[in-house]
Structure 1
């Protein structure tokens, strides 16, 4: 039987590292997100395709970040290592802050080393077998980002990779929470990473009619909850959070951004790509997370929605939020600023949620202009950030295959 939430050690987030289309550091990403600044634009990597724009991590220089070490890494691994280094520095972790055998790494990714597979397949087709990089397989494996972070920092605890499509980053944080509660680790670096802005992935999503086709105005194409939404926009990057027990953080003088209170996960068991129109699976995950956290729906003051800007997905989530929390809870989606970062999305949004709690500031839903008359009249934060205390917040993530994952965070 699971112990009551109140008898467990509090788990706190003491470090945040991000590489996002909104900014290459957690500070710059947070500033842009609170300002509602959309950076979507035409992407030369997607030139000539049906959807030629994306949210790119513009300015990320792998050689500058990793030097000669960059060659064996696919971009999704480079993003992860950069974010992990930043998170550890932010947490003020030093060599004597931890026992490496008690530090774990849990990363989520939806697609993994897609760029490596695509680049090397083209080399094989154009130039023959001799031209294929001997490191193709280790570059592209889903688990290699977590393994590389562990190697980079000399960590000997569990190194795990989870893949639950667009819920992967949230699933990774929930898995990390379980490792800390079980006493298997003292510290876990957890998050998500994705570098899937490629011609094949973009075309695949476009063939599903999942992407926005607002090519005439890319910066306004991602419009969560808006009446004019017509699909999501691809994004890329990573977020890694440092999780540890509150008493351990306090012992080294760290308070933390927020507590990670609870986690819930479920499967729709409904359809390969479409959400259950009644939201049964998502509701189950959300209620599990609240029960795990030991909090009631009335205590939640903010929901960081998954809302990707798709007509069906946003509608299901809006009804879910109204059904559980009513219409008074503050709701935002940050995908109008970051795009949909797929397997990294949940980790980035958990980081933003933690910052909202710490700073009492909820970012706006960028590009939300016209309420959809077919959606419940929920309180969507828009037009500018909202200054308000946030004591308990929820961060939702949903993915293909009917994957649902929800986190509950609270103030320290």
Structure 2
């Protein structure tokens, strides 16, 4: 494939709502998790700050139709506005949109379903505001774009699958520009209860609630977060290019269990090899791992890295110890970390992880994501 230009990126998450705020957050060793009181229990979550949520409230008031939208959609609209502004794309331009979500309008769907159970009737807007397709559709409405609109859910690798779609359209010559990303607002009692039922939710009471990339942990420590992240992709490399996509990889492995990957994450082995097929593996300086904070999830991915890279040891990092697992948005928030490390030429360490050898320069980084079903994606980016 020819390199694809990343002309801008934007996000809103527990780390902040501007690239400057996000990078500043990465430079400290503090997590962004708090206890949230639900009806039946209290659990750790990683939520967008009350100050940053004011921007979402303002967005909600900017159009009377937006007051009925779920935060999953509003987060995505907010980030998309910021991204196209940075890329100097204009409202009404011809560009494609593919913003995915693992679960979609989670809070709104649960609210409408509870109303139905109580009253036996459904609200008028319950269907159009809870379909997965309404994320990209509302962004297209907000930005008045004229290109194709795509929405999908492929569990926790959704955002990187959106990126794969954008790359494919650009490579095919069907579009010159594509806005891709993921959004998730899953901090509801039912969603947290589902993760607890899987026995993956953190029970830590002191220190870091999520121990992603801590290979000595003896219990699972996943924690849910929320947010949205998007990137602007273009065919042409130009003076506004932030970084390049050099390779993409994807794979699905045969399931042994509904929720797990193999001990050596065969899917990641295949996806990383595919993403790097046109380079020497020794050129990879760092990998932003999926690393959800579970025992098997973390160890299997590291085993896959060892299988693929052998004696070459890329610097490994993850962000889930800081902002939690944002489901369908997580791949693009990983991508954002990779872009920021490339831009600032500084690697972000996991504070409780074993010290690693660092490359003198950061030229190429792999971004990983995987979801239920063993569907892995790896993306190779470079300066």
Q: TM-score range by the shorter chain?
A: over 0.9
99, 102, 107: which one pairs with 1:107? 99
CA displacement at 1:47 relative to structure 2: 5.0
Partner of residue 346, structure 1: 331
Partner of residue 25, structure 2: 32
Q: Does the 8 Å CA contact 2:87/2:240 hold for their aligned counterparts?
A: no
The whole-number CA distance in structure 2 between the counterparts of 1:23 and 1:388 is 29
Q: Does the 8 Å CA contact 2:98/2:150 hold for their aligned counterparts?
A: yes
Query: After superposition, where does 1:59-98 map in structure 2 within 5 Å?
Result: 59=50, 60-61=53-54, 62-67=56-61, 68-95=64-91
Q: CA separation of 1:234/1:117 partners in 2, compared to 1, >3 Å: closer, same or farther?
A: same
CA displacement at 1:202 relative to structure 2: 0.4
* Helix, strand or coil at the partner of 1:240: strand
The whole-number CA distance in structure 2 between the counterparts of 1:43 and 1:327 is 42
The whole-number CA distance in structure 2 between the counterparts of 1:245 and 1:388 is 30
Partner of residue 308, structure 2: 324
The whole-number CA distance in structure 2 between the counterparts of 1:387 and 1:18 is 28
Count of residues in correspondence between the two structures: 374
* Helix, strand or coil at the partner of 2:146: coil
The whole-number CA distance in structure 1 between the counterparts of 2:254 and 2:68 is 38
Partner of residue 175, structure 2: 185
Partner of residue 288, structure 1: 274
Q: Does the 8 Å CA contact 1:257/1:355 hold for their aligned counterparts?
A: no
The normalised TM-score by structure 1 is 0.86
Q: Does the 8 Å CA contact 1:19/1:26 hold for their aligned counterparts?
A: no
105, 124, 127: which one pairs with 1:137? 127
CA displacement at 1:353 relative to structure 2: 0.6
- Asked if residue 407 in structure 1 is aligned to residue 383 in structure 2, the reply is no
The whole-number CA distance in structure 2 between the counterparts of 1:388 and 1:164 is 36
The whole-number CA distance in structure 1 between the counterparts of 2:124 and 2:285 is 51
156, 164, 185: which one pairs with 1:174? 164
CA displacement at 1:112 relative to structure 2: 0.8
CA displacement at 1:362 relative to structure 2: 1.5
* Helix, strand or coil at the partner of 1:223: coil
Q: Does the 8 Å CA contact 1:57/1:236 hold for their aligned counterparts?
A: yes
The whole-number CA distance in structure 2 between the counterparts of 1:203 and 1:407 is 32
* Helix, strand or coil at the partner of 1:232: coil
Residues 247-292 of structure 1: CA distance to partner in whole angstroms, max 9, x if unpaired? Answer: 4xx2xxx43221011111111121310111232222111111112x
Query: After superposition, where does 1:104-253 map in structure 2 within 5 Å?
Result: 104-129=96-121, 132-214=122-204, 216-217=205-206, 220-226=208-214, 227-228=216-217, 230-247=220-237, 250=238
Q: Does the 8 Å CA contact 1:266/1:403 hold for their aligned counterparts?
A: yes
The whole-number CA distance in structure 2 between the counterparts of 1:193 and 1:406 is 19
- Asked if residue 19 in structure 1 is aligned to residue 36 in structure 2, the reply is no
CA displacement at 1:148 relative to structure 2: 0.7
Deviates most, 153-162 or 219-228: 219-228
The normalised TM-score by structure 2 is 0.92
Q: Does the 8 Å CA contact 2:156/2:370 hold for their aligned counterparts?
A: yes
Partner of residue 375, structure 1: none
The whole-number CA distance in structure 2 between the counterparts of 1:225 and 1:275 is 17
Residues 35-67 of structure 1: CA distance to partner in whole angstroms, max 9, x if unpaired? Answer: 2321101123x3532x52200112213321231
Q: CA separation of 1:327/1:212 partners in 2, compared to 1, >3 Å: closer, same or farther?
A: farther
Q: Does the 8 Å CA contact 2:213/2:317 hold for their aligned counterparts?
A: no
* Helix, strand or coil at the partner of 1:134: coil
| Ranges of 4+ aligned residues in structure 1 off by more than 3 Å | none
